Amino acid sequence: MITEGITIQGLRVISLALIPTEWWEAARQMFNTVSTTEACLTIFAMAALIISVILVFWASTERKRFEDRLEQKIAKLTKLRQEIAELNREQIGVLEEITGAGPPRKEMPASNPQEIEALSELGKRAQ
C-alpha cells in the first residue's frame, strides 16, 4: 500500500513536470522500445496461433469427410442387408416348394370332382 501511494505520487509529479508533447513522446518511447526477446516471443505466439487455426480447420474438414464416408458405408450395408433378407425369403420359398413343407395351400376352386359336378349343374341351370 505504501509503494502504491509512492508510485501514484511519482506519476503525478512526472506528469506535472512534463508538458503534454513531452509526455506523449515519453509514452511513445516507452512503448516503441521492444527488445529482441519480446519480438521473438510475439512472432512465436502469432505463428502458434496461425498453426492452431490451420489445424482446427484441417481437423474439422477431416471429421466431415470421415462422417460422409461412414454414412456412405452405412447406406451400402443397409442395402446389402435388405438384399440378403430378400434372398433368404426367396430361398425359404424354394425350399418349401421342393420339400412340400410350406404352409398348406388353398385349393383352387373346382379341383374336387364333386365341386366340378355341382358347378357344371349350376351352369346348365343358368342356361
Q: What is the pTM of this model?
A: 0.43
**pLDDT 10s digits, 78-88:** 999 999 999 98
Q: Are 7 and 14 spatial neighbours (Cβ–Cβ below 8 Å)? A: no
Residue 32 CA to residue 29 CA, distance in Å, equals 5
Give me the pLDDT at residue 33, please: 64
pLDDT higher than threshold 80 for residue 70: yes
Q: Kindly indicate the confidence band of residue 48, based on its pLDDT and cuts at 50, 70 and 90.
A: very high
